[in-house]
Amino acid sequence: MKKKENLLRNPYVRILIVTSFIILVIAAIVFVILLGNRFLFRENPRFTLRNVFVSSSGYWNGRSDEVMNMLNLKKGRTNLFEISPKQLRETLKKKKMYSIENVEISRILPNTLKFDIVEKIPRALLYNRKSNLIVDRKGILLNRKYCVNINKELPVITGFILKKADFTARSYKKVQIPFGKKLPQVMPALVLISLIHTDYPEFKIKLINLCDPNSLIVHLLGHKNRKVIKVILPFKHNAASPLTEVQLTQETYKLRKKLEELQELYCYLKLRRKKVTEINLIFDKQAILK
């Protein structure tokens, strides 16, 4: 008895007993929570998936069956609390369509999942107007089939070559197009498209040719959209060596100045009712008209 009393008077033994008791209490609480979560949520038939709603402004609107197949969701079998919205979101964004910018996924208890999809906005077609290759503002290559309806006035970017390294060859006869890959070689054209879209809406681009590493050869619609005018704007670029952020900023600044000059020139030609087929703005502070 005395040995037990002496043992209990030992402060280290008391600390050990109290600590062990606290650990046991915590373990019991965790066990109860896990057990309750299992029976109240994960194995509760009330939270079995019954409805899936997909909302978007483009291709994906109402395509609940496609979304369910991609995410392996089963009506009447999948429990809402067995899935991770974050994981579902990342899976959707990485799928081969690459047309999804962001997704918000909501559980609507007891049995519904709601997907609010923000789609990437196409900024240009590649090579020609019938092409299935399009890019967004970041130069990401998208499949036209899975994007929002293409505007008929969307600009065309041409004059560049996709490198062999950009493609994945499965066999000699079958080549996989690198959808989802960024194409830095088209960024100069996208810079121009972005500037005109935000600051110079009076200009309407039909085509941008990147064949010259020192300029952008742009085909714009003339006054009242009656005639196409060829405009040559200075912009140094190299498909073999993409521009750095600093170089891109410098060239963008120069391009903005040239667009201001072009804007003034357009007003002058309109007032004078002069017809031109080509405007060359390569040289500093002067324009060559044809």
In sequence order, which residues have a C-beta less than 8 Å from that of residue 274 and are 6 or more positions away?
268, 289
Asked which of 69-78, 147-156, 166-175, 249-258 is least confident by mean pLDDT, the reply is 166-175
In sequence order, which residues have a C-beta less than 8 Å from that of residue 52 and are 6 or more positions away?
64, 67, 68, 73, 75, 112, 113, 114, 115
SS3 80: coil
pLDDT at 3 over 60: no
Same domain, yes or no, for 141 and 165? yes
pLDDT of residue 2: 47
Q: Averaging pLDDT over each range in 17-26, 91-100, 205-214, which range is the top one? A: 205-214
In sequence order, which residues have a C-beta less than 8 Å from that of residue 238 and are 6 or more positions away?
213
pLDDT-based confidence at residue 276 (cuts at 50, 70, 90): confident
pLDDT at 18 over 70: no
What are the distances in angstroms from CA 26 to CA 23, 71, 257?
Answer: 5, 36, 68
Of the residues 60, 86, 119, which one is the last residue of a structural domain?
119
Cβ atoms within 10 Å, residue 163: 12
Q: pLDDT per residue over 28-85, tens digit each?
A: 566 455 544 554 445 667 778 899 999 998 889 999 999 999 888 888 888 888 888 8
The angle formed by the CA atoms of residues 241, 245 and 143, to the nearest 5 degrees, is 70
Q: pLDDT per residue over 78-136, tens digit each?
A: 888 888 888 888 888 777 668 888 889 998 888 899 999 998 889 999 998 888 889 99
Q: pLDDT per residue over 217-227, tens digit each?
A: 999 986 555 68
> Distance (Å, rounded) from C-alpha 88 to C-alpha 283?
53
Domain interval for residue 218: 124-289
pLDDT of residue 171: 36
Same domain, yes or no, for 223 and 185? yes
Number of domains composing the chain: 3
Of the candidates 30, 4, 26, 8, the residue with the CA atom closest to the CA atom of residue 17: 8
Q: pLDDT per residue over 176-203, tens digit each?
A: 677 888 888 899 999 999 999 999 888 8
Contact status, residue 117 vs residue 55, Cβ threshold 8 Å: yes
> Distance (Å, rounded) from C-alpha 183 to C-alpha 179?
10
> Distance (Å, rounded) from C-alpha 122 to C-alpha 130?
14
Residue 103 belongs to domain with CATH number: 3.10.20.310
Q: pLDDT per residue over 152-170, tens digit each?
A: 778 999 998 876 555 554 4
Q: What is the pTM of this model?
A: 0.77
Same domain, yes or no, for 102 and 156? no
Q: At what angle do helices 11-37 and 2-9 cross, to 10 degrees?
A: 80
pLDDT-based confidence at residue 271 (cuts at 50, 70, 90): confident
Q: At what angle do helices 187-199 and 245-272 cross, to 10 degrees?
A: 50
pLDDT-based confidence at residue 10 (cuts at 50, 70, 90): low
Same domain, yes or no, for 140 and 212? yes
What are the distances in angstroms from CA 225 to CA 18, 142, 153, 204, 273?
Answer: 85, 29, 12, 8, 14
**What's the full length of the chain, in residues?**
290
- DSSP 8-state symbol, 77: T
Of the residues 119, 138, 153, which one is the last residue of a structural domain?
119
Same domain, yes or no, for 284 and 162? yes
